[in-house]
Amino acid sequence: MGKYFGTDGFRGEANITLTADHAYKVGRFLGWYYNEKRRRAAEEGLAPQQGPARIVIGKDTRRSSYMFEYSLVGGLVASGADAYLLHVTTTPSVAYIARVDNFDCGIMISASHNPYYDNGIKLINGQGEKMDEETISLVEAYLDGNLEAFGQKWEELPFAHRDKIGCTVDYISGRNRYIGYLISLGMYSFRGVKVGLDCANGSSWNIAKAVFDALGATTYVINAEPNGLNINLNAGSTHIEGLQKFVVEKGLDVGFAYDGDADRCLCVDEKGNVVTGDHILYIYGRYMKERGKLVTNTVVTTVMSNFGLYKAFDELDIDYARTAVGDKYVYEYMQQHGSRIGGEQSGHIIFSKYASTGDGILTSLKLMEVMMARKKPMSELAAPLAIYPQVLENVRVTDKATAQNDPDVQAAVQAVAAELGDTGRILVRESGTEPLVRVMVEAPSKEICQKYVDQVVDVIRHKGYEQA
């Protein structure tokens, strides 16, 4: 992770840690950088220049998203790039359009599941994937005033003049084609199925219902009245209790909850039970296995997936991989090994045959596909997965790396792992953003979990690593 950009973009409180000036400079750099790459490729005979760089932009419903959009556009056109505006849309739609319409890159303005006062800038490459670290490091170098690119230092970037100043293009047609793409993936009619959608007052508010309606569902929607301040507010996948109540009260067959930019999806079954990202990986992984479609016979997870998921995969003879936390790492593994499905407990699920990033609406369509194909309610599809109890304790420490790597701490962790055997697991990891060591145990009962968490935490405290 860099100084400004983490695993999911440049994120912070609007106009405090992420300002309109930051956005303008990001736009200035990207517009100049991709124009310069085009010019140099044309000079070397590698590709025709074919006009200015083309960059597509989407945003969520936060009040500050409009400010950041205008700032980014100002920077892009000032550097001579053309800015194509999808307006309010989802992160996966930006990734899709960047890829299929041959854009140089895409930008999504969103802080995902964070509260409204935060915002973020996510950069997406021309293949619809998260931007490579090399380009991110150049953006950060420009923000800090020490840019070195193409073999020279740049004190300032040149402005475009006269007819070289970029254009701004209303590209709502791109968003509409993305909606059409999702509809085209529907293999079954949803006629007669009552579906609840929680749009989190975010990016999915004017997309999800259109897709489900087109596929014939009887659609019931909550939290689809964004006002710039209510995104994720007691709504969406981070506050799924609202959808649970709604599904039960309305007698719905299933419900789906998205986050602010709709790259995540969690589900609620007809009884009001939560179907997590782990359940989704189980349900669709099993479905693929049964149809001979699970390429490499592997489902990609993160280290935070529940132990019960791995026990269930063992019973089905499905292999699994564990990556670091973050959809970025899940996707990298999938690309390297040719895996077709992977994701996180949080509902960030990647279907690599259909998308280059997590897509909440796509995930809900895929779960509907299993329901329709198997003619079973969601509760029955999820039932075979037994989620193990979990206890997680965060210990605030003076030095997280030193604390975690202490030989006595490591010995305590290994002792717990040995005692648990194949009945559970222990995971100790550093927080990526705070001075915390996270100690997590999954086992057949809460009491066993707590016992083993306490064993390790006591050692950390005894060695003097805990902050006073």
Residue 119 tokens read as 């915002």
Beta bridge partners of 281: none
Q: Which residue has the tokens 């020490």?
A: 146
C-alpha to C-alpha distance for 191 and 454, rounded to whole angstroms = 52
Beta bridge partners of 131: none
Can you say how many angstroms the Cα of residue 100 is from the centroid of all Cα atoms in its chain?
Answer: 20
Can you say how many angstroms the Cα of residue 182 is from the centroid of all Cα atoms in its chain?
Answer: 18
Contact call for residues 348 and 264 (beta carbons, < 8 A) = yes
One-letter identity of residue 186: G
C-alpha to C-alpha distance for 195 and 97, rounded to whole angstroms = 27
Beta bridge partners of 54: 82
Q: Which residue has the tokens 């202490």?
A: 406
Residue 35, classified by CB atoms within 10 Å of its CB into exposed (0-12), middle (13-18) or buried (19+), is buried
Q: Which helix (H) or strand (E) holds 142?
A: helix 133-143
> Residue 220, by phi and psi: left (phi above 0), alpha (psi -120 to 50) or beta?
beta
C-alpha to C-alpha distance for 387 and 383, rounded to whole angstroms = 10
- Cα–Cα separations (whole angstroms), residue 410 to 195, 401, 414, 454, 457: 48, 12, 6, 14, 11
Rg for the chain (alpha carbons), in Å? 23
Contact call for residues 232 and 114 (beta carbons, < 8 A) = yes
Q: Is 431 among the residues known to form the active site?
A: no
- Cα–Cα separations (whole angstroms), residue 271 to 148, 265, 282: 58, 18, 19
C-alpha to C-alpha distance for 55 and 26, rounded to whole angstroms = 12
Q: Which residue has the tokens 């509809």?
A: 183
Indicate which residue of 93, 112, 346, 352 is catalytic.
112
Q: Is the dihedral of CA 242, 204, 211, 238 positive or negative?
A: negative
Active site residues: 112
